[in-house]
Amino acid sequence: MARTDQVRVSIVSGRQQLREHDPPNDDLSSIGADELEWPLVTKVKYIEAIAGAKFTIRCEVKPGFQFGNANCLDFDIWVDGQRIMGTMCPKSLVKSSRYGWTENYSGEDFWTGTSWARRPFRWSNLVTTDSSYSAEETEKYHNIGTIQVEVWRCWEEEIVPKERRKVYDTVESVPEKIVKGAALDMCTK
């Protein structure tokens, strides 16, 4: 996938890094990035999906990366338009290794009620048709097949291992004074 000189994101399937393709000249996927208020580097690459195969998102930071005032990099991962809890790369791990830092992210972590589990990333056996489509369908399916990784410099007081993260149970009711009268939308899966 996209890469800069010191930060690289790639997609691996069957232990092979998938070949990347540059977007066509009429591709609109990076439109709007130049309208943001701060300088960003946006890279767009295409890969060919392998129906039914599992895949991994590999995030790498090479030695010599300039963290600036940050003490870590936050990799926010989105698959099919859904945010997946990403990973953090502490500056100390990059600085202490002559090889840099690599994290292979192979699925979505979720809480089973007693422990963490991982649902692997897998390309679906998508069936496409030539039929007409509505605006509702466009909105519903426009992110299918997208993998987006945002990399942010950040400062973390303490990077908490996944095993120690607090998972809050679903709340059925909340006293109004706590939320100061604000309406809350809640969703459980």
Residue 88 domain flag = yes
| Statement: residue 40 has pLDDT above 60 | yes
The pLDDT of 150-159, averaged and rounded, is 78
Residue 135 domain flag = yes
- Give the pLDDT confidence score for residue 174 in this predicted structure: 55
The pLDDT of 103-120, averaged and rounded, is 90
Give CA–CA dist 12/20, Å, rounded: 11
Half-sphere exposure of 68 (CA within 13 A, CB side): 6
Residue type, 43: K
**Which tops the pLDDT comparison, 141 or 35?**
141
Sign of CA dihedral 2, 10, 122, 185: negative
Half-sphere exposure of 157 (CA within 13 A, CB side): 0
Structure confidence at residue 186 as a pLDDT band (50, 70, 90): very low
Give CA–CA dist 99/61, Å, rounded: 9
Give CA–CA dist 172/144, Å, rounded: 32
Residue 175 domain flag = no
Domain that holds residue 127: 7-161
pTM over 0.75: no
Q: How many domains in the chain? A: 1
What are the pLDDT digits (tens) for 162-180?
A: 555 555 555 555 555 555 5
Percent of the chain with pLDDT strictly greater than 90:
15
Structure confidence at residue 58 as a pLDDT band (50, 70, 90): very high
90-104: buried (b, 16+ CB within 10 Å) or exposed (e) per residue? bbebbeeeeebbebe
Residue 171 domain flag = no
Name 151's bridge partners: 75
Q: How many residues make up the chain in this entry?
A: 189
How far apart, in Å, are the Cα atoms of 16 and each of 1, 19, 52, 60, 134? 13, 9, 16, 16, 37
- Give the pLDDT confidence score for residue 130 in this predicted structure: 79
Residue 120 domain flag = yes
Residue 187 domain flag = no
Residue 156 domain flag = yes
| Statement: residue 189 has pLDDT above 50 | no
Residue 104 domain flag = yes
Cβ neighbourhood burial of 11 (10 Å; 0-12, 13-18, 19+): buried
Structure confidence at residue 98 as a pLDDT band (50, 70, 90): confident
Structure confidence at residue 27 as a pLDDT band (50, 70, 90): low
- Give the pLDDT confidence score for residue 138 in this predicted structure: 80
- Give the pLDDT confidence score for residue 185 in this predicted structure: 46
The pLDDT of 26-38, averaged and rounded, is 52
- Give the pLDDT confidence score for residue 160 in this predicted structure: 54
- Give the pLDDT confidence score for residue 144 in this predicted structure: 80
